Structure 1
Amino acid sequence: MIAQNPTFPLDGKQVYVLRNDQWSEARLMGWQWSSQDGEKYTVLYLEDNAREEGVSIERIRSLEEMQNAGIETNVYDLNSQAGIEQMLATHNKWREQVGVPPLQWSPRLANYAQEWADKLLRENSFEHRQNSNYGENLAAASGQQLSPERVVNMWGSEVEYYDYATNSCSPGKVCGHYTQVVWEDTQEVGCGMARNENREVWVCNYNPPGNYVGEKPY
């Protein structure tokens, strides 16, 4: 008998794979079945983009299985207080590294950001809101689900392209998301996210805004 469908669908959602005695986030990139070996998957590990082929089904767990077992407590949206706290804490982790005060969460800014995230997803677009009084960071992904922590760390990782001495980014690189995250005068942040089966969009707004031309972030 030939298996018609994989036990774990190739839908882009994260799974967890037992790797070196630890559970690691991964995406399923392909699968095959044989009467001798059963189901085998090709996985892409999110932490280092390494691929592994021939992964047995016994080494794979869904997010729901991990959460039900109490092994994984991460969140992948902002619908709970845990998601909000993770988003805020990750911002403040980056700010602490450069010695600037922590941000406070603003429900007003969160609603403002959610409106824009919904619009961008609905219209399948990706652009900054025009004529806004607030700073803004955007992120988007397809084929995977991001956590609040991963979103902010994507922005924070731009630090490697930022030269504080010259207050500039490396040629051809982007670092403005990072400088907004650590902008000293910013006091509040609020974020929203929207997701469908194909795509997700994250928006954070900042008050007061940062990234003034000619000014250093701190």
Structure 2
Amino acid sequence: MVTIGPKSSVAAFDVDAQNCFTPLCPAELPVPEGHEITDALNNQARLAQFRLGSKDAHPENAVWAATQQRPQLSPVIGFENSDLHWNIHAVPGTYGFELLEGLPAVTEYDFFVWKGIEPDIHPYGACFHDHAEKRSTGVVEFLESKDVKTVVVGGLALDYCVKVTVLQLLQSGFRVIVNLAATRALSVDTGHEARKEMEAAGAVFVTNSDEIKVMDEPCPSNWSH
């Protein structure tokens, strides 16, 4: 059991929980069982005062688009904010761009980020637009403004966008809990390596949100019976 809280100091983060990262979109970047995390994301949100979300939002003419000559996961040369070639995914207006069925509308989140709309920029983490982590998306500032101390994270995929987001949050001084029920990895091997990297940086892992206990809110100093 991991104790956090009180609830007013907790945020839940749905990182890139989009159809394009599930078997529902086999031509994009299907993460095995990626479409099965909705309930776990909604459950973890009940522990938090604030719910944040992010989406990849990519143009079809991205410089990192994989081709027969430049296959997926081969390096991108000459662009500092794109490192690997990927299948085109998360194009605004497509089914793949949409959040998983059962998640809130983007307007119902307390804070939401769209990332990677420029054709030469492919970020992974949701806290910064660029790989050098100099151009903030506003996530860190929002959390700080709300006096959030703990962030419970899920989304897709564990070994890429979730991992980098977790590392960015840890580097920014937040306590981070990764909810394994609410995330999936693109592959077993990279998922294992990502978990080791996050744990080494200070992340805590739980099997599901039932393993998280939220402290009671402290009574106001002027409260009396």
Identify whether the pair has TM-score above 0.5, normalized to the shorter chain.
Answer: no
**Given the two structures, how large is their TM-score scaled by the length of structure 2?**
0.25
Larger Rg: 1
TM-score, normalised with respect to structure 1: 0.25
Higher RCO (C-alpha 8 Å, min separation 6): 2
Higher share in strand = 1
